[in-house]
Amino acid sequence: MAQTGTRQRLTKRQLKEDAFTTAIFRAREWTEDNLRLVLMVAGGILVVVLAVWGITNYMSGQEDAAASLYGEAGVELRSDNLSGAILNLQTVVDEHGGSEVAGVACFQLADAYFEQRRFDDARVYFQKYLDDYGDDELLVASALSGLGAIDEHAQDYASCFERQMEAAETDAGFMAAEYLRQAVRCAVAGNDTAAALRAYQRIQEIDTDPRNVNIVRQRLIEHGVIGPND
Protein backbone atom coordinates (compact mmCIF):
# COMPACT_ATOMS: atom_id res chain seq x y z
CA MET A 1 0.00 0.00 0.00
CA ALA A 2 1.37 3.41 -1.09
CA GLN A 3 2.18 5.90 1.60
CA THR A 4 -0.25 8.83 1.72
CA GLY A 5 2.63 11.29 2.31
CA THR A 6 4.42 10.43 -0.93
CA ARG A 7 4.84 13.47 -3.24
CA GLN A 8 3.05 13.15 -6.57
CA ARG A 9 5.36 13.28 -9.69
CA LEU A 10 5.01 16.58 -11.67
CA THR A 11 4.36 16.51 -15.41
CA LYS A 12 6.73 18.24 -17.89
CA ARG A 13 4.16 20.96 -18.51
CA GLN A 14 3.85 21.63 -14.80
CA LEU A 15 7.64 21.85 -14.49
CA LYS A 16 7.81 24.40 -17.32
CA GLU A 17 5.02 26.48 -15.83
CA ASP A 18 6.73 26.36 -12.45
CA ALA A 19 10.07 27.49 -13.97
CA PHE A 20 8.35 30.31 -15.88
CA THR A 21 6.56 31.51 -12.76
CA THR A 22 9.82 31.45 -10.82
CA ALA A 23 11.58 33.48 -13.52
CA ILE A 24 8.79 36.08 -13.57
CA PHE A 25 8.91 36.35 -9.81
CA ARG A 26 12.70 36.76 -9.78
CA ALA A 27 12.57 39.40 -12.55
CA ARG A 28 9.93 41.33 -10.65
CA GLU A 29 11.96 41.03 -7.46
CA TRP A 30 15.14 42.27 -9.24
CA THR A 31 13.23 45.19 -10.79
CA GLU A 32 11.82 46.23 -7.45
CA ASP A 33 15.28 46.04 -5.86
CA ASN A 34 16.92 47.94 -8.71
CA LEU A 35 14.10 50.33 -9.65
CA ARG A 36 16.34 53.38 -9.50
CA LEU A 37 18.86 51.82 -11.90
CA VAL A 38 16.09 50.81 -14.32
CA LEU A 39 14.66 54.32 -14.33
CA MET A 40 18.11 55.85 -14.87
CA VAL A 41 18.79 53.57 -17.86
CA ALA A 42 15.37 54.26 -19.35
CA GLY A 43 15.82 57.97 -18.78
CA GLY A 44 19.26 57.88 -20.40
CA ILE A 45 17.88 56.16 -23.49
CA LEU A 46 15.11 58.75 -23.71
CA VAL A 47 17.62 61.60 -23.44
CA VAL A 48 19.70 60.12 -26.28
CA VAL A 49 16.62 59.65 -28.48
CA LEU A 50 15.47 63.19 -27.83
CA ALA A 51 18.97 64.57 -28.46
CA VAL A 52 19.24 62.78 -31.81
CA TRP A 53 15.77 63.98 -32.77
CA GLY A 54 16.63 67.55 -31.76
CA ILE A 55 19.94 67.57 -33.63
CA THR A 56 18.33 66.13 -36.75
CA ASN A 57 15.61 68.75 -36.74
CA TYR A 58 18.11 71.52 -35.99
CA MET A 59 20.36 70.48 -38.88
CA SER A 60 17.39 70.25 -41.20
CA GLY A 61 16.38 73.78 -40.22
CA GLN A 62 19.93 75.02 -40.75
CA GLU A 63 20.05 73.50 -44.23
CA ASP A 64 16.72 75.06 -45.16
CA ALA A 65 17.80 78.49 -43.92
CA ALA A 66 21.15 78.28 -45.73
CA ALA A 67 19.53 77.13 -48.97
CA SER A 68 17.02 79.99 -48.81
CA LEU A 69 19.73 82.60 -48.24
CA TYR A 70 21.87 81.12 -50.98
CA GLY A 71 18.94 81.21 -53.39
CA GLU A 72 18.33 84.87 -52.56
CA ALA A 73 22.02 85.61 -53.16
CA GLY A 74 21.75 83.99 -56.59
CA VAL A 75 18.87 86.29 -57.50
CA GLU A 76 20.91 89.30 -56.37
CA LEU A 77 23.94 88.18 -58.39
CA ARG A 78 21.85 87.77 -61.53
CA SER A 79 20.55 91.29 -60.96
CA ASP A 80 24.11 92.61 -60.54
CA ASN A 81 23.30 93.64 -56.99
CA LEU A 82 26.63 92.65 -55.44
CA SER A 83 25.93 94.31 -52.10
CA GLY A 84 22.70 92.36 -51.62
CA ALA A 85 24.37 89.12 -52.68
CA ILE A 86 27.27 89.71 -50.30
CA LEU A 87 24.88 90.24 -47.38
CA ASN A 88 23.18 86.88 -47.96
CA LEU A 89 26.36 84.96 -48.76
CA GLN A 90 28.07 86.39 -45.67
CA THR A 91 25.19 85.15 -43.51
CA VAL A 92 25.44 81.66 -45.02
CA VAL A 93 29.17 81.48 -44.30
CA ASP A 94 29.02 83.05 -40.82
CA GLU A 95 25.86 81.41 -39.47
CA HIS A 96 25.49 78.22 -41.52
CA GLY A 97 29.09 77.25 -42.15
CA GLY A 98 28.35 73.53 -41.90
CA SER A 99 25.59 73.51 -44.50
CA GLU A 100 25.93 71.87 -47.90
CA VAL A 101 25.96 75.22 -49.73
CA ALA A 102 28.46 76.91 -47.41
CA GLY A 103 31.52 76.02 -49.50
CA VAL A 104 30.31 77.42 -52.79
CA ALA A 105 28.79 80.38 -50.92
CA CYS A 106 32.22 81.11 -49.43
CA PHE A 107 33.82 81.05 -52.87
CA GLN A 108 31.12 83.28 -54.38
CA LEU A 109 31.46 85.69 -51.46
CA ALA A 110 35.18 86.04 -52.20
CA ASP A 111 34.46 86.51 -55.89
CA ALA A 112 31.83 89.20 -55.15
CA TYR A 113 34.27 91.06 -52.91
CA PHE A 114 36.85 90.85 -55.69
CA GLU A 115 34.36 92.34 -58.16
CA GLN A 116 33.85 95.21 -55.74
CA ARG A 117 37.65 95.58 -55.58
CA ARG A 118 37.56 94.88 -51.86
CA PHE A 119 40.73 92.85 -52.21
CA ASP A 120 41.48 92.34 -48.52
CA ASP A 121 38.04 90.80 -47.95
CA ALA A 122 38.33 88.77 -51.15
CA ARG A 123 41.67 87.36 -49.97
CA VAL A 124 40.17 86.31 -46.63
CA TYR A 125 37.35 84.32 -48.19
CA PHE A 126 39.34 82.80 -51.07
CA GLN A 127 41.74 81.52 -48.43
CA LYS A 128 38.88 80.40 -46.18
CA TYR A 129 37.44 78.38 -49.04
CA LEU A 130 40.80 76.64 -49.53
CA ASP A 131 41.30 76.02 -45.80
CA ASP A 132 37.79 75.02 -44.73
CA TYR A 133 36.18 73.58 -47.85
CA GLY A 134 38.25 73.02 -51.00
CA ASP A 135 36.21 70.01 -52.11
CA ASP A 136 35.89 71.01 -55.77
CA GLU A 137 39.01 71.08 -57.96
CA LEU A 138 37.63 73.71 -60.32
CA LEU A 139 36.77 76.06 -57.47
CA VAL A 140 40.10 75.35 -55.77
CA ALA A 141 41.93 76.34 -58.95
CA SER A 142 39.78 79.43 -59.36
CA ALA A 143 40.36 80.44 -55.73
CA LEU A 144 44.12 80.05 -56.21
CA SER A 145 43.93 82.18 -59.35
CA GLY A 146 41.87 84.75 -57.45
CA LEU A 147 44.56 84.98 -54.79
CA GLY A 148 47.11 85.32 -57.60
CA ALA A 149 45.14 88.20 -59.13
CA ILE A 150 45.07 89.94 -55.74
CA ASP A 151 48.84 89.46 -55.45
CA GLU A 152 49.25 90.93 -58.93
CA HIS A 153 47.22 93.98 -57.91
CA ALA A 154 49.54 94.35 -54.92
CA GLN A 155 52.52 94.04 -57.33
CA ASP A 156 53.67 90.86 -55.62
CA TYR A 157 54.49 89.26 -58.94
CA ALA A 158 56.46 86.30 -57.59
CA SER A 159 53.53 85.17 -55.43
CA CYS A 160 51.12 85.84 -58.30
CA PHE A 161 53.17 83.60 -60.58
CA GLU A 162 53.25 80.72 -58.10
CA ARG A 163 49.51 80.97 -57.43
CA GLN A 164 48.68 80.88 -61.13
CA MET A 165 51.01 77.96 -61.75
CA GLU A 166 49.42 76.05 -58.88
CA ALA A 167 45.96 76.84 -60.26
CA ALA A 168 47.01 75.50 -63.67
CA GLU A 169 48.26 72.26 -62.14
CA THR A 170 45.07 71.86 -60.07
CA ASP A 171 42.68 72.35 -62.99
CA ALA A 172 43.34 69.82 -65.71
CA GLY A 173 40.57 71.33 -67.85
CA PHE A 174 40.30 74.15 -70.36
CA MET A 175 41.14 76.87 -67.79
CA ALA A 176 44.64 75.54 -67.16
CA ALA A 177 46.08 77.34 -70.21
CA GLU A 178 44.43 80.60 -69.11
CA TYR A 179 46.02 80.34 -65.67
CA LEU A 180 49.38 79.75 -67.35
CA ARG A 181 48.95 82.85 -69.51
CA GLN A 182 48.31 84.84 -66.35
CA ALA A 183 51.43 83.30 -64.84
CA VAL A 184 53.43 84.48 -67.88
CA ARG A 185 52.04 87.99 -67.45
CA CYS A 186 53.08 88.06 -63.76
CA ALA A 187 56.54 86.70 -64.54
CA VAL A 188 57.08 89.32 -67.25
CA ALA A 189 55.87 92.08 -64.93
CA GLY A 190 58.31 90.84 -62.30
CA ASN A 191 61.19 90.62 -64.81
CA ASP A 192 61.59 86.93 -64.03
CA THR A 193 62.74 85.43 -67.33
CA ALA A 194 63.17 81.91 -65.99
CA ALA A 195 59.63 81.86 -64.58
CA ALA A 196 58.16 83.22 -67.81
CA LEU A 197 59.92 80.53 -69.86
CA ARG A 198 58.76 77.85 -67.43
CA ALA A 199 55.12 78.86 -67.86
CA TYR A 200 55.54 79.26 -71.64
CA GLN A 201 56.96 75.75 -71.96
CA ARG A 202 54.00 74.38 -70.03
CA ILE A 203 51.58 76.25 -72.30
CA GLN A 204 53.20 74.66 -75.34
CA GLU A 205 52.64 71.24 -73.76
CA ILE A 206 48.93 71.60 -72.96
CA ASP A 207 47.40 74.24 -75.27
CA THR A 208 46.26 72.65 -78.51
CA ASP A 209 45.38 75.96 -80.15
CA PRO A 210 48.50 77.36 -81.88
CA ARG A 211 46.94 80.83 -81.97
CA ASN A 212 46.90 81.01 -78.18
CA VAL A 213 50.49 79.81 -77.99
CA ASN A 214 51.53 82.41 -80.56
CA ILE A 215 49.93 85.22 -78.53
CA VAL A 216 52.07 84.28 -75.54
CA ARG A 217 55.13 83.94 -77.77
CA GLN A 218 54.64 87.45 -79.14
CA ARG A 219 54.35 88.85 -75.62
CA LEU A 220 57.63 87.21 -74.66
CA ILE A 221 59.31 88.57 -77.80
CA GLU A 222 58.02 92.08 -77.08
CA HIS A 223 59.51 91.96 -73.59
CA GLY A 224 62.81 90.51 -74.72
CA VAL A 225 62.33 87.18 -72.96
CA ILE A 226 62.91 85.24 -76.20
CA GLY A 227 64.11 86.22 -79.65
CA PRO A 228 62.04 86.28 -82.86
CA ASN A 229 63.69 83.07 -84.02
CA ASP A 230 63.29 81.14 -80.76
- Residues 99-158 have pLDDT tens digits of 999 999 999 999 999 999 999 999 999 999 999 999 899 999 999 999 999 999 999 999
Segment 200-214, tens digit of pLDDT: 999 999 998 899 999
Quick check: 106 and 125 in contact, CB under 8 A?
A: yes
CA distance 103 to 142: 13
Non-local CB neighbours of 70 within 8 Å, separated by 6+ positions: 88, 89, 92, 101, 104, 105
Would you state the pLDDT for residue 26?
Answer: 63
Q: For the segment 61-74, what is each residue's pLDDT rounded down to a tens digit? A: 678 888 989 999 89
Average pLDDT score, the chain: 83
- Is residue 77's pLDDT more than 70? yes
Which of residues 46 and 83 earns the better pLDDT score?
83
Predicted model pTM: 0.72
Q: Which of 43-52, 56-65, 88-97, 110-119 has the lowest mean pLDDT?
A: 43-52
| pLDDT at 159 exceeding the cut of 90 | yes
> How many other CB atoms sit within 10 Å of the CB of residue 194?
8
**Nearest CA among 66, 116, 126, 63 for reference residue 86:** 116
Averaged over 155-172, what is the pLDDT?
A: 96
Domains and their CATH numbers in the chain: 40-135 (1.25.40.10), 137-230 (1.25.40.10)
* DSSP notation for the chain: ---TTPPPPPPHHHHHHHHHHHHHHHHHHHHHHTHHHHHHHHHHHHHHHHHHHHHHHHHHHHHHHHHHHHHHHHHHHHTT-HHHHHHHHHHHHHH-TTSTTHHHHHHHHHHHHHHTT-HHHHHHHHHHIIIII---HHHHHHHHHHHHHHHHHTT-HHHHHHHHHHHHHH--STTHHHHHHHHHHHHHHTT-HHHHHHHHHHHHHH---HHHHHHHHHHHHHTTSS-TT-
